[in-house]
Chain A
């Protein structure tokens, strides 16, 4: 959908990515034909509920999903034009940390408890002869300062249990950034933090992104975070992309019943407190046997016959905005979202 962009600006190009896991119960199709691009310096959000395939998609980019049982069924991931899917573990090590950094969800368990935090940041440079030990240490301390940790020299030689949760996540960010990667993948980095710390971490990420020009792929289930941080958004469901577009497109020109449902199941300050939240009825699809049609059809109040029979292609709505919903087919009947007129106001 982003054909208007010049090709050299595209850092990451994912095309028809399909990733599955062998399990005792059969093959789970976790990611089913996801395509998107990340341009230099932009923040792409991926939003969806638990089990929609967003984390698996993110980990595919660095090949962090265990293989086996996981395996690439189809598709390609190109970073700066280089194919990642076919790379060996040894080749991937050059990309991990140095080209693409990864921030995990839970800072409490994502740091090694028996290693000083400074050493853990420096580890990115181990086995890379171009960076000397002294240089690695200098950059680690510089990075600790950059992520807003005061007294960085002292913190450098402390252990994770001596830091607070927010500080640990700052260390994780420093760790992801120290190799000066082109892209950072942040997999729900604020989910396990309390809201005040969450706001600080989000501000930090946005500020660092501006200073360093790094692209960020931000994975979350929180639409509020998406609105605050991202340039573009992918809404995922059942291993597929339901809707994509700019933050404005997604929030004000919602083009998919699932996105609509997501937004109306979140409490808001600007609606009367007597208004009940509208949960999305039903449960996510069984990825052992994904439905033939749209994965959301069974829970969708607008579902038509075709929705159960054929998977909808992505219908372009505006520039850079597309929705995989049969309602957007030119022959489909026009639909007004049943939301009491609250669908798209500012």
Chain B
């Protein structure tokens, strides 16, 4: 197991390094630069470029950037005066991660429950309800879902605040809007997986041993059925966290989404780079955790990783 984890960590670090390099190059390939504008004079431009080190050769800039990164320094933003990228991330990331985690926790837990119930009561009313929820979840885009929730729960029934992010009651609607798609996907996957496991020989073996139905479901069915769900967790975390951009703007939440979009539009090199690396690093970490989790749940993976 130790070797397996070490291998996954090494691959993750390499991935992060490739990401930094590629994004660094891509940002510079974009047409235009951060300082173009009507009032820009050559002198000011030269001063700014010297200030940000943009006048040096690209390779030197890259080396300096990586060196600073290793010390955890993302540099200064080129558009927000006197604000470092670290500062911007530190102020906005807590909102995004809070929303993302709530949405993930809600969607994965409820998705699993719906999937298991759906499979246990296959063909019954409960199964039908779960299927309808799953179909709605996969077919309604999250921005429409967000608007619908705001309209009904916020405006019509007045149950929850319509927008902003100031307390627990504010978090509910955006979490649902963001997590609904994932919930639907997890529940469909879990249902199919449970139905497949039920037909496996080892379930009959367990039954022939006189094991109770409850224990068969918990120890034999769910443990084996959850494997395909764990596999998609990596991509699911990615879609949920990137999905926060849209949801944040609908619910007026001061998360990273706004800064990210603006930084690309305004070619704020250091902010684009910083946010991408930060986000990328976060997703790579999520995938690493999923990989390790996978090894914990399925002993066969551990063996293959030796």
Interface residues of A (CB under 8 A from B): 62, 64, 89, 92-98, 101-102, 104, 106, 109-115, 123-124, 126-127, 159, 161-162, 172, 175, 179
- The complex places the Cα of A198 from the Cα of B215 at a distance, in Å, of 33
Neighbouring B residues of A115 by C-beta, 8 Å: 219-220, 223
Of B210, B213, B297, B298, the most chain A CB neighbours within 10 A belong to: B210
**B213 near A113: Cβ-Cβ < 8 Å:** no
CB nearest neighbor in B for A172 = B205
Residues of B within 8 A of A96 (CB): 207-210
Residue ID in chain A nearest B210 by CB atoms? A96
CA distance A175 to B213 in the complex (A): 18
Cα(A159)–Cα(B297), bound, Å? 12
* Interface range on chain B (Cβ under 8 Å from partner): 20 to 34
Whether the pair A114, B210 counts as a contact (CB closer than 8 A) is no
| Besides A106-B201, A127-B212, 19 new A-B residue pairs in contact (Cβ under 8 A), listed by A number | A64-B207, A93-B211, A93-B212, A94-B210, A104-B201, A104-B205, A110-B202, A110-B204, A110-B205, A112-B206, A112-B223, A113-B224, A124-B210, A126-B215, A127-B211, A159-B299, A159-B300, A161-B299, A172-B205
The answer to whether A109 and B200 touch across the interface, beta carbons within 8 angstroms, is yes
Does residue B22 face the partner (Cβ distance < 8 Å to A)?
A: no
Quick check: A112 and B204 within 8 Å, CB to CB?
Answer: no
Are B210 and A112 within 8 A (Cβ)?
no
- Separation in Å of the A132 CB from the closest CB of chain B? 18
* Shortest distance between the CB of B286 and any CB in chain A (Å): 23
12 A-B residue pairs with Cβ-Cβ distance under 8 Å, sorted by A, are A95-B210, A96-B207, A97-B208, A97-B211, A104-B208, A110-B202, A112-B202, A113-B298, A123-B209, A124-B209, A159-B300, A175-B209
Smallest CB separation, A160 vs chain B (Å): 9
- For chain B, residues 178 to 236, give those with C-beta under 8 angstroms from any C-beta of chain A: 200-202, 204-213, 215, 219-220, 223-224
Q: Is B303 an interface residue, CB under 8 A from the partner? A: yes
Q: Please indicate the chain A residues that have their CB under 8 angstroms from the CB of B223 in the complex.
A: 112, 114-115
Q: Once bound together, how far apart are the Cα atoms of A43 and B201, in whole Å?
A: 25
Instruction: Evaluate contact between B210 and A97: CB separation under 8 angstroms.
Output: yes
Residues from chain A with a CB closer than 8 A to the CB of B206 are: 112, 123
Q: How far is the CA of A179 from the CA of B297 in the complex (A)?
A: 29
0/1 interface trace, chain B 286-304, chain A, CB 8 Å (1 if under):
0000000000011110010
Known A114-B298, A115-B219, A159-B300: A126·B211 in contact at CB below 8 Å: yes
Nearest opposing residue in chain A for B300, CB measure: A161
Complex alpha-carbon distance, A102 and B204, angstroms: 10
Could you tell me if B208 and A109 are in contact, using CB atoms closer than 8 angstroms? Answer: no
Report Cα–Cα, A264/B207, bound state, in Å: 38
Asked if B201 contacts A110 (CB within 8 A), the reply is: yes
Query: Which chain A residue shows the least CB distance to B226?
Result: A114
Binary flags per residue of B223-254, CB closer than 8 Å to A gives 1, else 0 = 11000000000000000000000000000000
B299, closest chain A residue (CB)? A159
A104 B204 Cβ-Cβ under 8 A: yes
Do the beta carbons of A64 and B210 come within 8 Å of each other? no
Partner of B208, one of A64, A127, A159: A64
CA distance A112 to B212 in the complex (A): 16
Taken together as a complex, chains A and B put the C-alpha atoms of A328 and B212 apart, in Å, by: 48
* Those 6 A-B pairs whose CB atoms lie nearest each other, nearest first: A96-B210, A102-B208, A97-B210, A109-B201, A97-B209, A93-B210
Contacts of A89 in B (CB 8 A): 213
